[in-house]
Amino acid sequence: MNPLLTPVILLTGFLGSGKTTLLQRLLTDPSMEGAAVLINEFGEVGLDHHLLDRIDDNVVLLKSGCICCTVRGEVADALSNLESLRARGEVAFDRVVIETTGLADPYPVLQTLTAHPVLRSHFTNGGVLTTVDAVNAINQVAHRAEAVRQIAAADRIVLTKTDLVEPKQEQALRDRLARINPASRIVTTGEDVSSILGGFEPMSLDQTLTWEPPAEHECHPGCDHDAHGHSHHEHHHAHHHDDALGVTSFSLVIEGPIDWTIFGAWLTLLLYRYGDRIFRVKGILALDGEDKPVAIHGVQHLVHAPTHMEHWPEGPRSSRLVFILEGLSPDLIRRSFSAFTGVSRVRTAA
């Protein structure tokens, strides 16, 4: 992360999932002392800011409803105003937290940070923190696309209300969340703030790098796929489905060097056409002529500037691209990648 840019942490999560409670906890931590807070409240009367103890010049309430449509300009205005105040020495902050409404799609705010001609010179995506209600999340992810998009966009998932469910129920939810977003670490709200925020960066690819595909599963008569999260036979169990909304996560494992320019043309066209259904793409690439791996990270239509990684993780030096998407065939994406880039040794993995 560029040290000259102020990180903006997006705190999101479905309605009632404990965003404000978590924000209150985070703000008590010394590391968050210098945080400015923007709160978006759906509805005419903002309530959540009253729940925060620290009401001061650094807490701004965004008024105009759902953050994913009407408020985009207001987020930009609020951040611009904060920056102006800081430039004049009237406030000081070293990071910003934006608490979204429970119905928000995180993508427009991330896009605003990246695309806004002024903001992108001062702020950077500090990561997406998504709260997930252990009691109701199973039902929410089965029926609400907003909940799935928030989970898919997460760099870290914070489980809340785990004291209200049985360990078995919590584990089932963890399994489900891992299938929707295998690249995000899951913590619980009861953990230390340092644990919740530790190593929390949008470009962190730790989970991607350490996330090994499970052993090939042998089917047998009466095999209960739903019980263990495996996928359809025709895809050789190479991806996971979140059944109700058709959300799939899988990765392309690519052997051999990739031409960066051709890859860029392919992924750009793919996201132009299907960015509204590709919630997340994240991975490391072995590029033609490069010794070090290159990391890429995207949410829907938005792809952040690619970064050079210091070294390859242990194990084979193959490229790996993780996709979280809805209603698209992993095998078609694999074939498309090969057809456009000319790299034939590509397989899909869970």
* Cβ nearer to another protein, comparing 312 with 340: 340
Q: Given CA atoms 327, 112, 10, 78 in this order, what sign does their dihedral have?
A: negative
* Cβ nearer to another protein, comparing 183 with 294: 294
**Alpha-carbon gap, residue 85 to 265, rounded angstroms:** 41
* Cβ nearer to another protein, comparing 176 with 334: 334
Please, what is the minimum distance in Å from the beta carbon of residue 308 to another protein?
5
**Alpha-carbon gap, residue 247 to 241, rounded angstroms:** 6
Please, what is the minimum distance in Å from the beta carbon of residue 285 to another protein?
9
* Cβ nearer to another protein, comparing 14 with 107: 107
Between strands 35-40 and 59-62, the pairing is parallel
> In this structure, what token pair is assigned to residue 346?
């590509």
- Run of H or E including 273: helix 260-274
Name the residue among 185, 157, 203 with its Cα closest to residue 303: 203
Please, what is the minimum distance in Å from the beta carbon of residue 60 to another protein?
25
* Cβ nearer to another protein, comparing 132 with 296: 296
3-state secondary structure of 15: coil
**Alpha-carbon gap, residue 175 to 195, rounded angstroms:** 20
Please, what is the minimum distance in Å from the beta carbon of residue 138 to another protein?
30
Please, what is the minimum distance in Å from the beta carbon of residue 153 to another protein?
14
**What DSSP string runs through 298-324?**
EETTEEPPPEE-SSPPSS---EEEEEE
Which long-range contacts link 43-48 to residues 24+ away (Cβ below 8 Å)?
A: 48/19, 48/20, 48/99
**What DSSP string runs through 71-116?**
THHHHHHHHHHHHHHHHTTS---SEEEEEPPTT--SHHHHHHHHH-
* Cβ nearer to another protein, comparing 24 with 338: 338
Please, what is the minimum distance in Å from the beta carbon of residue 98 to another protein?
19
End-to-end CA distance of the chain: 29
- Run of H or E including 242: strand 239-242
Please, what is the minimum distance in Å from the beta carbon of residue 336 to another protein?
5
Please, what is the minimum distance in Å from the beta carbon of residue 50 to another protein?
35
* Cβ nearer to another protein, comparing 113 with 350: 113
- List contacts with another protein (CB under 8 A): 2, 111, 114-115, 120, 259-262, 264-266, 268-275, 287, 290, 294, 296, 298, 300-308, 328-329, 332-333, 335-336, 338-340, 342
Please, what is the minimum distance in Å from the beta carbon of residue 5 to another protein?
11
293 in Cβ contact with 312 (< 8 Å) = yes
322 in Cβ contact with 182 (< 8 Å) = yes
